[in-house]
Amino acid sequence: MNGDWMELDLAFGDAISELQFAPHSNNNLLISSWDSNLRLYDVDASILRLQAPSQAPLLASCFPDHALAFTAASDGFIRRYDLHSGHVDTVGSHDDIATCVGYSNQTCQLITSGFDKKLISWDMHTEKASSCLRSLDAEVDSMYVSGFNLTVAIGASVHVYDLRNFDKPVQSKEALNGPHLSCVSSIPDAEGFAVGSVDGRVSLQISYPSSSNDIRYIFRCHPKSKDGRHYLVSVNDIAFSPLVSGAFATGDNEGYVTIWDAGSRKRLVEFPRHPNSVASLSYNHEGQLLAVASSHSYQEANEIEKPPRLFIHKVDNIDIGSISASRNS
């Protein structure tokens, strides 16, 4: 670690689509890429543990446990990876490009979406054939699986489903009154979600079980100055800290990562600008490290396609004690 950050020594043939730290132990980082490779990097040992090639660009990935991963690819296929042996097999496929993938350990369901406008459930416990949970009116822009909840962003609306009863959403709303949503994330140890938009705003809706102080507001998260004017930059990803309740990070299309306190609506820190757009963010399981994928994302026609780079920021030394203190008061 060089000071409070380091750069991983990894070369990519194309954009990084998603990264995710192992959920419960060690600091292994899973990285999917448009170069059709899934990589597993040991951050502590600075070693590439696994590089598994695929037959198509990987647009999304998830990391249910230390030995298992799933990907969604441009050929529509959903693939499963044994991270110990490197063995890859096919779970199934969408009728078009597969764009999102998430896993619930509570229900043993793999949830995927694609350009075919379908949400599909794959029962990984019984290995049964898939079931189409919902046929949608539009493509899913982003989704997040957490426990029994599936949060889905479609256009300007966000929908929350209970995976145990998929007849209809338990909540549907237009989160930002107009602008297209770009990312969605669920809140650990609470009920609610955060969504980011292409116009730089974030909408928070959080209910803490042990508190009556619900958080519901919209704020302009990523305004930038240029030629004396403010303009708004797309929020590409949101990650909540598992270390401090209410702290979350946002990454934007101009390379900036900012950590916020949801309760006070204050910006805690903004890291120096990364060399490319922030395509994906992930905290490690202890909340001490924040991984940042600095990569073009194919979201804009005029994106500069610089070589993707990966950074690890040490965030446990940031002065955020006042957040946890106020949250417990």
Task: Calculate mean pLDDT across residues 145-161.
Answer: 92
pLDDT at residue number 272: 92
CA 113, 118, 123: angle at the middle one, nearest 5?
70
Above 50 in pLDDT, residue 206?
A: yes
Task: Calculate mean pLDDT across residues 111-122.
Answer: 93
C-alpha span between 157 and 181 (Å, rounded): 7
Task: Calculate mean pLDDT across residues 161-170.
Answer: 86
pLDDT at residue number 127: 64
Dump pLDDT digits (tens) for 269-299: 999 999 999 999 999 999 999 999 999 887 7
pLDDT at residue number 305: 72
Q: Which residue has the higher pLDDT, 182 or 188?
A: 182
pLDDT at residue number 310: 97
CA atoms within 13 A on the CB side of 59: 23
Task: Calculate mean pLDDT across residues 43-51.
Answer: 96
Res. 328 pLDDT band, cuts 50 70 90: very low
C-alpha span between 280 and 274 (Å, rounded): 12
Per DSSP, what are the bridge partners of residue 249? 239, 259
Res. 326 pLDDT band, cuts 50 70 90: very low
Specify the DSSP class assigned to residue 323: H
pLDDT at residue number 19: 97
C-alpha span between 86 and 140 (Å, rounded): 30
What is the percent of the chain where pLDDT is above 70?
A: 88
Which residue segments constitute the domains of the chain, with CATH numbers given? 5-314 (2.130.10.10)
Q: Which residue has the higher pLDDT, 178 or 121?
A: 121
Q: What's the start-to-end Cα distance of the chain, in Å?
A: 35
Above 90 in pLDDT, residue 71?
A: yes
Which of the residue ranges 77-91, 105-119, 291-305 would you say has the lowest mean pLDDT? 291-305
Q: Which residue has the higher pLDDT, 130 or 287?
A: 287
pLDDT at residue number 158: 92
Dump pLDDT digits (tens) for 238-247: 999 998 888 9
pLDDT at residue number 262: 86
Which of the residue ranges 190-194, 199-203, 224-228 would you say has the lowest mean pLDDT? 224-228
Helix, strand, or coil here: 287?
coil
Query: How many residues in the chain?
Result: 329
3-class SS shares of the chain: helix, strand, coil, % to 5: 0, 55, 45
Res. 211 pLDDT band, cuts 50 70 90: low
pLDDT at residue number 223: 64
